[in-house]
A and B are shown apart, each in its own frame.
Chain A
Amino acid sequence: MKAYLDNNSTTPMDKRVKDVYCNATELFGNVNVIYQLGIDARNAMNKAYDILYPGIGADNSDDIIITSSTSEGNNTVIKTFLDAFLKGNGKKHIITTVSEHSSIKGPCAYAKTLGMEVTYLYTDENGRIDLKELENAIREDTALISILYASNESGVIQPIKEISEIARKYNISFHCDGAQAIGKVKINVRELGVDYFTFGAHKFHGPKGVGALYVREGAPYVNLIHGGNLMGGKRSGSVYLNGMIAMAEALKLANENLDLINTKISKLRDRLEEAILQIPDTKSYIDKKYRLPNTVVASFRGIEGESMLWDLNVNGIYAATGSSCSSERLEGSEVLEALGEDPEIAHTGIIFSLSRFTTQEEIDYVIEKLPGIVERLRDISMTYAKVAPK
């Protein structure tokens, strides 16, 4: 038995999406040629756009630029404002949050090296930003507010509509990184009032290597990739046509299944969360009303996160630490510390994220295995030792 519960990191491709993806590889014609193969390719692109535009509630006067990833979209947005600053428009300030993905923090750090200034808003014990703090952070020279819809790791949802209203009030551009929210929450960019919205297909059972950048009509835009006339000249590089078609299919299926996420999957999530809390010295985080319906953030006192991942892995269960402890960097515990947890508990955080393909059997299997795993690892742990140094 295996249980994949790291869907906030990436998701498996839906079989129907896979079929669409494979079939679309037949459409190999260059989308810019005038003869029949180009016509076929453009027809397919149009069909994909027929799904994508209403799929996120975009107006036909807006742009949905097909990118390689959320990261590319995020970079394009930040660097659009960096470009304007470097050309002397005087707007040097960006407001964002501490919970952004590295694809926002990275380009912001880069913009700082070139003279821009960045304010990182802190979050409260539910992982939410304070709207008053946002308003206080706004300056005369604020060019952009960039805030993610839902945290990549903890699944905390930010009040995007309210943020958008504040941005509008002060006439500041607003970008929302929607990578983690799309497919789990109904997205309507026009209703949200965002100027930019970015996402990648692999977070909602689409393929990796394709994503989109929504740009509201009239919002500033500077190319990240210069070159040919693709995407109306706004993003060069051959269009990843079968990726785009598969992303559209994945979005359609995700939107059709939103109810499933909010009912069956959310109930499975609750079941898992309750079972975790049955184990002594565990804790779960973030009020459910502020959290994506597929996510559990928990801590297991005395068990360092990576060793927990190890034992879960041995049992065919895949989850996340919400830190980079298991990767090249050694800093851990960022998610729980941001939620106000003590450092020694923060290192024991584990994030389980379900998808619409998660089954009751998988969750039951995890619930059955967890107590034994916790017992073994706590037996190793010095937190539970009986004899201490004098």
Chain B
Amino acid sequence: MGRNDLITGNVWEQYSKKVIDRMNNPKYLGEFSEEEAKEKGLKLVVADFGSEACGDSVRLYWLVDPKTDKIVDARFRSFGCGTAIASSDMMTELTIGKTVDEAMKITNLDVEKALRDDPNTPAFPPQKMHCSVMAYDVIIEAAAKYQGKNADDLRNSEIVCECARVTRKEIEDIVKEHNVKTVEELQKYTDAGKYCKSCVAPGGHEEKPVYLVDIIKDVQEQMKKQNLKNASQTEDFDKMSLIKKIKAIEEFLDTKIKPMLAMDGGSLELLDIREEDGITKVYIRYMGACATCASGGATLLAIEDEIRKFFKSDKIKIEQI
């Protein structure tokens, strides 16, 4: 938040002159017919993306030279807002003269950049970035048709934020590198989730298979486990200070043992850890279903075994209270 967020509703005044001009006078509006293509010895490709029920859709027409795979000419029609129409127009222009393979590399980010008046000022406000995403998708649809492939196979399925085109891997790397815990922290390093915000968390404009909040949670979980593993591998348990032992065992119980017990409706509580005669004694109390379980004793031995294996030490003993 801040001054800029206090005045809401500002959309059209953030459009570049190019966006306004393309909305008012689209240059590549129109369509080609099969006859026209045949006359010129070219292949007609027609592809759709989006739907009117969702509020925006685009249809792309290509005339492709089958000998060179080059897109000789292109047109579009679109159902959508000003940004959708201007982006469709620019996208159509950008594909002309390229081979189908080259065109597939065009993304909504390229379209948005091409629509800027000034290289440092976005062509439209962040929430409208969403409307340009279909520019990328419809090219993939058209390319798939031309090449006789499945569009889903050509698409980068690892993209989590379509507006900013950020992949899951890129987000995971940032979370790991900067120990990111919230979406706000994440956005210091990436534009993911800054535009239409659908990918941030459930409940946005579009449903997503995975959200930024999930990825952050998953990676944080992995990192926790990794740290634990590293700790056990790098440091000799028997030589750890008592504090370190307590922390390591507590984390081990939380991440390895408790989730296992929880599957049977049980749990345990760590009561104390003491060092006696060179043995580390871990005092626990069973809770939930474990408290009344007949095989509690066997489970205790199994837990002890796990802990000993994990910390590579046989000088650990578990005591039930």
Contacts and interface: CB of A to CB of B under 8 A. Distances in A.
A342 interface: yes
Interface in B79-93: 79-82, 84-85
Contact of A380 (B12, B47, B78, B130): B78
B29 interface: yes
A386 B24 CA distance: 22
B196 A330 contact: yes
B119 to A, nearest CB: 26
Contact of B53 (A325, A347, A385): A347
B56 A304 contact: yes
Given A304-B79, A380-B85, A389-B48, A343 B130 contact: no
- Main DSSP-derived SS at the A contact region: loop
B11 interface: yes
Contact of A389 (B47, B51, B205): B47
Given A379-B29, A389-B46, A389-B47, A325 B81 contact: yes
Contacts of A387: 31-34, 44, 46, 61
A306 B85 CA distance: 11
Interface in B137-175: 145
Given A307-B81, A387-B61, A330 B55 contact: yes
B182 to A, nearest CB: 21
Contact of B79 (A314, A342, A382): A382
A382 B82 contact: no
Interface in B23-48: 23-24, 26, 29, 31-34, 44, 46-48
Given A304-B79, A344-B52, A389 B59 contact: yes
A331 interface: yes
Contacts of B31: 385-387
A382 B48 contact: yes
A313 B205 CA distance: 26
Interface in A307-332: 307, 310, 313-314, 325-332
Given A326-B11, A386-B33, A347 B78 contact: no
Contact of A310 (B8, B23, B33, B56): B23
B229 to A, nearest CB: 40
A171 interface: no
Nearest to A344: B52
Interface of B: 8-9, 11-12, 23-24, 26, 29, 31-34, 44, 46-48, 51-59, 61, 77-82, 84-85, 127, 130, 145, 196, 205
Given A304-B84, A387-B34, A389-B46, 5 more contacts: A304-B79, A329-B127, A381-B77, A389-B48, A389-B145
30 contacts: A304-B52, A304-B56, A304-B81, A304-B84, A307-B23, A307-B80, A310-B23, A313-B12, A325-B55, A325-B81, A327-B11, A330-B196, A330-B205, A331-B205, A332-B55, A344-B52, A344-B53, A347-B52, A347-B55, A379-B29, A380-B26, A380-B29, A382-B48, A382-B79, A384-B77, A385-B59, A387-B61, A388-B48, A389-B48, A390-B46
